[in-house]
């Protein structure tokens, strides 16, 4: 049965009281976090050593609000180089204990340290010789006493004025978990490239994993003309390929220059240019900016921004044109 929703004593909103209440919560939780700093000691180092030496995975468990925090800690660990997953302690006693193997390490969260669902599965975990790390608010609790390593996340008071809703206690546990994750990240030498590999769909993943070869136009999609081509032929090639430029190449597709919209505007503004009879080699830009297919797509974006250009030709080691791309290709790939 759902509990009845308490009606407000007054419909009048006391803005000052609301602001004061919110600020009190922030101050209380900030104090709880500050109190954790001196507890980062040899026990914390021992916990990191256990996890770094783990041949399997770190199994995180917790009940209720501690379980929600545990899920987030497990996700953070997994994305920063420590293989981890969450197991619900209630489900563990109904079959999910089979997910925990002897080569794993268990990280259990409980503010009281007396959560029945966790204590119930401890004998099975201990019987298999699985190392147990706990984060609790009570170093004298049953869970803390049975742990190989205990991390104290105790608080002096909850931010909830009733002292009932887990607030400062869950924040402290979450911060302790984040401290573990980042300490392990640095101990492993985990890099931004490693992070991107576990976040391929995120913006960082696209910036660090997407290469020029993944977004460039190739084959018939690359605008190319010979140096003897007329201005009309150059414009037709640019129109067909929709990149706002065309490469000017020799018979072996080696790059001689590039003809762009900008070159066309400059030619139209030059009374000394015979547009009807000019060859594209007379109007092209020599020595254009180019990039290799193995470079990151973000490098193309940086090159375009630095030189205020909107397209790039892609060349191989012999300066043969193998592809092309423009700013719209990078936008579609969500690199910029």
pLDDT tens, position by position, 289-314: 999 998 888 888 899 999 888 999 99
For 99-111, write each residue's pLDDT tens digit: 899 999 999 999 9
Q: What's the pLDDT at 7? A: 64
pLDDT in tens, 100-142: 999 999 999 999 999 999 999 999 999 999 999 999 999 999 9
Are 258 and 246 spatial neighbours (Cβ–Cβ below 8 Å)? yes
Higher pLDDT: 270 or 110? It is 110
User: Which tokens belong to 19?
Assistant: 């602001």
pTM over 0.95: no
Q: For residue 194, what pLDDT is reported?
A: 58
Contact (Cβ atoms closer than 8 angstroms) between residue 106 and residue 118: no
Q: What tens digit of pLDDT does each residue of 210-221 get?
A: 789 988 999 999
CB 108 within 8 A of CB 133: yes
Return the closest-CA partner of residue 188 out of 98, 84, 268: 84
The answer, yes or no, to whether residue 11 has pLDDT greater than 80, is no
The chain-wide mean pLDDT, for the chain, equals: 89
């Amino acid at each position: 049965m759902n509990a009845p929703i308490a009606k407000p004593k007054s419909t009048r909103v006391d803005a000052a009281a609301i602001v004061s209440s919110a600020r009190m919560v922030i101050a209380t939780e900030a104090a709880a976090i500050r109190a954790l700093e001196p507890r980062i000691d040899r026990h914390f180092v021992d916990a990191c050593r256990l996890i770094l030496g783990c041949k399997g995975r770190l199994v995180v468990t917790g009940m209720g609000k501690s379980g929600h925090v545990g899920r987030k800690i497990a996700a953070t660990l997994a994305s920063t180089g420590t293989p981890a997953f969450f197991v619900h302690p209630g489900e563990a006693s109904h079959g999910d204990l089979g997910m925990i193997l002897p080569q794993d390490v268990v990280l259990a969260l409980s503010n009281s340290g007396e959560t029945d669902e966790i204590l119930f599965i401890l004998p099975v975990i201990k019987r298999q010789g699985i190392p147990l790390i706990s984060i609790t608010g009570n170093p004298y609790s049953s869970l803390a006493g049975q742990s190989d390593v205990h991390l104290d996340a105790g608080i002096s008071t909850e931010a909830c004025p009733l002292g009932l809703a887990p607030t400062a206690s869950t924040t402290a546990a979450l911060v302790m978990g984040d401290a573990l994750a980042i300490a392990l990240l640095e101990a492993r030498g985990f890099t931004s490239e490693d992070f991107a590999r576990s976040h391929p769909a995120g913006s960082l993943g696209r910036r660090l994993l997407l290469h020029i070869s993944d977004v460039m136009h190739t084959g018939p999609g690359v605008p190319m003309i010979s140096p003897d081509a007329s201005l009309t032929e150059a414009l037709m090639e640019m129109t067909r390929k929709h990149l706002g430029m065309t490469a000017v190449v020799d018979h072996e597709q080696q790059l001689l220059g590039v003809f762009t919209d900008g070159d066309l505007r400059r030619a139209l503004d030059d009374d000394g240019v015979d547009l009807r009879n000019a060859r594209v080699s007379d109007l092209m830009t020599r020595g254009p900016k180019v990039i290799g297919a193995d470079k990151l797509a973000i490098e193309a974006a940086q090159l375009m921004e630095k030189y205020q250009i909107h397209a790039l030709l892609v060349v191989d080691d012999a300066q043969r044109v193998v592809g092309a791309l423009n700013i719209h290709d990078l936008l579609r790939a969500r690199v910029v």
